Structure 1
Amino acid sequence: MVKITVIGTGYVGLVAGLGFSDFGNDVVSLDTDQEKIDKLVNGQAPIYEPGIEELLSRNLKAKRIIFTTDKKYAIEHGNIIFICVGTPQTNEGDVNLDYVYQVAHDIGSYINQYKIIVNKSTVPVGTAREIGRIIKNTIEEREALIKFDIASNPEFLREGKAINDFFNPDRIVLGTDNAQSLIELNKIYRVFARSNKPIIKTSIETAEMIKYATNSFLATKITFINEMANLCEKVGANVLEVASAMGKDGRISPKFLHPGPGYGGSCFPKDTKALVNIAKKHGAKLSILESVILANEFQKKLASQKIIKRFPTGGTIALLGLAFKPDTDDVRESPALEIIRTLASTGLFQLNVYDPQAMIQCKNALAPSSSEFIKWCSSAFEACRQADAVAIITEWFEFRNMDLEELKILLNSPVIFDFRNIFRKDDLESLGYEYYGVGI
């Protein structure tokens, strides 16, 4: 058993804290948001993530995890402290490190003995060293003599699949230049030894870079297949067959070869822009990644342009799916927001919107100016009733299982914009639908 402190209870921090406690460790999870902590103490997860509440209940019952806002108590508790706070994007595309540096200052203020400070937040290369500098300076201001070590352990959790990703990682990256840190971190992750999960041991700077490089490559792969889809529509090819054939090449793999209305979420948009800015600051040029960012913005706009082209005088459109992906309530950088804003800005469309989890988040994200054109619906069928077309933006399973015969009766006209290609074009057309997919 290892005494662990996790600072931050967002997607990364909450999953990590619960995961470490489920391994049998003694975990204290710290956050400054009292309302969030109160919910967690009462067994309520502040985020939607499949499996999170069961994991929370199990570890609260076993008394392996404590949630608190008490910085001194939390920092003194852990022999290993994980930093898992947000690193939001600034208006200039840089990474806002205020939360990370505040945590570093807090650790320096309350650290009482040797500890290993591990950063899990996604940060530019060199941030861990700066965390160490801030902690050291703060300790010196206290006129104390306390040693500590710094490490980097980036997360690779997918929203909607975060629990599975934590317990079944493709690999674990440990960035440290200290043998003692490596020994202690290996104790935490030794549970994966039997399953032969690779543990990559590298420098702190390399570990920080691995996270950005990984997300940027995946964003590039998504954007590539989206551009192939757009070309397929022009030349009469089928992108699904193209992607399937490409994916059977062992050098490529089928993952992330799914065309759609562009990527969104809390990671890919932020991390691609951050990496481009990091490169600029160091005199390097990432021309491929710069193009990926521009192409993704175009892809989001292309979806709404398809609707406007089919309905130049406007109409009622049912928009199904608001989260940037299924199994999450996260709407950050979601293509749905771009589509809603664009269609609402024309003043020609009534938008009936529905999502199984992200309705409140979408309401909060959209400007009030769009609200007069939006009807918030309680089900997919309510959204589709007397609509001129339905647009599927997020591939929730409940949309895949809709009764298409009943749906056809509800719609004013049987028009489907399937921006996730969840249906087969031939099947829909055989039922009398006018079908618009992506790249087919």
Structure 2
Amino acid sequence: MRIAMIGTGYVGLVSGACFADFGHQVTCVDKDESKIAALHRGEIPIFEPGLDALVAANVKAKRLDFTTDLKQPVAEADAVFIAVGTPSRRGDGHADLTYVYAAAREIAASLTGFTVVVTKSTVPVGTGDEVERIIRETNPSADVVVASNPEFLREGAAIRDFKWPDRIVVGTSDERGRKVMGDIYRPLSLNQAPMMYTERRTAELIKYAANAFLATKITFINEVADLAEKVGADVQEVARGIGLDNRIGAKFLHAGPGFGGSCFPKDTRALIKIAQDYDTQLRIVESVLAVNDNRKRAMARKVAHAVGGNLRGKTVAVLGLTFKPETDDMREAPSIPLVTGLLDMGARVRAHDPVGIEQAKKELPEIAYYEDPYECATGADAIVLVTEWVQYRAMDLDRLKQVMASPVVVDLRNVYRPEEMAAHGFVYESVGRPPVKG
């Protein structure tokens, strides 16, 4: 199959490279000339484990190419995927569909023969209807089916998620469209990936509902963690105790500083706005978003409490800046409100992250950055572990204590065991577990 992928962001580049690896002929299109030039040089604009090798292998095999001009790739394509950004619209939280609709107009002008146009971007319910209207208005003679095929990729594990998915959701009632989509994903049949065919609007809502539910699980266990701290319980054992129930499941029950990233905050806001547009209230989702926002701001107060209540003039070392490990994505990362809060309280902040420093500098230009975590911790009155990178899971605690001005660790990801930290002489606070003093 010949595929045109419009957009070389996270979703577009990962999807395009994986489709090419299935054996399809894929051309990724982007208006950003510098990004396309970098891709031609083999430079990957995002950090995703294994993506550089996957792109290189398929470029070498001549199954994957990049261009700024969509005309020829769209004209030759069996399927055109729209994988452009849908950020929160400034001011009201709605998904900004400017790029989606602009792509639809350009695609329409270049269509030849039967083509399936697929929205891969996360879009509000009814977007496919508008994309179809735009295409038919721009090119009335186009032989086209507009389908929805939402992505469910986790940053840091995107290639595995694409090749071994829990499900593949395809929203179209057109048999020709279903056949093309089935042919595109046929290589996954060996992995027994279930194909779920549904109506287009249902597919669009599945994506938002899935992300909102996962965000709800995270927020639920975070609130239970607050209670656990008050009553002297261990939230990790609570999470295991409820997660062993198959009706609940263990995933997304890890207490921490709140969810961030490119999907959950944006998609929960957008889902609330969709509901309001249809005169429906999603009170649980509204609460999830409010609780999560408040939690991220409260983490700085947790650090202040650990050092005795006053951060003015204190040096705080922040370990981990990206919203999760194995990515350089800083979008709505919990580290941003944390660092801002620490600075507002008068602290001097220094930070380390294995891959996210360059992205972090754009969001947090006023702090000091270090390439080594021990150097970052040197002279610090407290360490805050924000992102659970594997590099932080087995640090030399004796060395860490030796270089710090004061042995205070606030572990917002519960990476370490309280008894271990006490044995090494640390004042240790985590999330949903009683504090310990060495």
Alignment of 1:1-400 (within 5 A): 2-91=1-90, 92-140=92-140, 145-311=141-307, 312-314=309-311, 315-346=314-345, 348-366=346-364, 371=366, 374-400=367-393
Q: Which amino acid aligns with 1:360?
A: E
- C-alpha contact 1:321 1:395 (8 A) present in aligned 2: yes
SS of 1:194's partner is helix
- 1:427 corresponds to: 420
**What's the CA shift for 1:309?**
2.4
- C-alpha contact 1:28 1:77 (8 A) present in aligned 2: no
CA offset digits 1:131-180 (Å, max 9, x no partner): 0100111114xxxx221111000000011111111111011001101001
How many correspondences in the alignment?
Answer: 429
CA offset digits 1:353-387 (Å, max 9, x no partner): 11111111111123x5xx1xx21111111110010
TM-score (norm 1): 0.96
Counterpart Cα distance in 2 of 1:84 and 1:434: 47
Counterpart Cα distance in 2 of 1:47 and 1:193: 29
CA offset digits 1:182-236 (Å, max 9, x no partner): 0111011111222221111100000000000000000000000000000000111
User: CA RMSD of the aligned region, Å?
Assistant: 0.9
CA offset digits 1:217-259 (Å, max 9, x no partner): 0000000000000000011111010001111001011000000
**What's the CA shift for 1:41?**
1.1
Counterpart Cα distance in 2 of 1:206 and 1:113: 27
Counterpart Cα distance in 1 of 2:195 and 2:271: 24
Counterpart Cα distance in 1 of 2:362 and 2:420: 37
Counterpart Cα distance in 2 of 1:146 and 1:8: 22
**What's the CA shift for 1:44?**
1.3
Q: Which amino acid aligns with 2:38?
A: K
Q: Which amino acid aligns with 1:69?
A: T
**What's the CA shift for 1:388?**
0.6
Counterpart Cα distance in 2 of 1:381 and 1:56: 34
- C-alpha contact 2:78 2:180 (8 A) present in aligned 1: no
- C-alpha contact 2:120 2:150 (8 A) present in aligned 1: yes
SS of 1:193's partner is helix
Counterpart Cα distance in 1 of 2:338 and 2:275: 31
Alignment gaps of 5+ in structure 2: 434-438
Counterpart Cα distance in 1 of 2:142 and 2:427: 69
SS of 2:190's partner is coil
Q: 2:406 aligns with which of 413, 417, 427?
A: 413
- C-alpha contact 2:306 2:429 (8 A) present in aligned 1: no
**What's the CA shift for 1:401?**
1.8
- 2:436 corresponds to: none
Counterpart Cα distance in 2 of 1:266 and 1:401: 29
Counterpart Cα distance in 1 of 2:193 and 2:104: 31
CA offset digits 1:66-91 (Å, max 9, x no partner): 10001212211211101100000012
- C-alpha contact 1:220 1:292 (8 A) present in aligned 2: yes
Q: Which amino acid aligns with 2:397?
A: L
Counterpart Cα distance in 1 of 2:368 and 2:2: 50
Counterpart Cα distance in 2 of 1:365 and 1:427: 34
TM-score (norm 2): 0.97
Counterpart Cα distance in 2 of 1:160 and 1:94: 27
Q: Which amino acid aligns with 2:310?
A: T
SS of 1:439's partner is coil
Alignment gaps of 5+ in structure 1: none
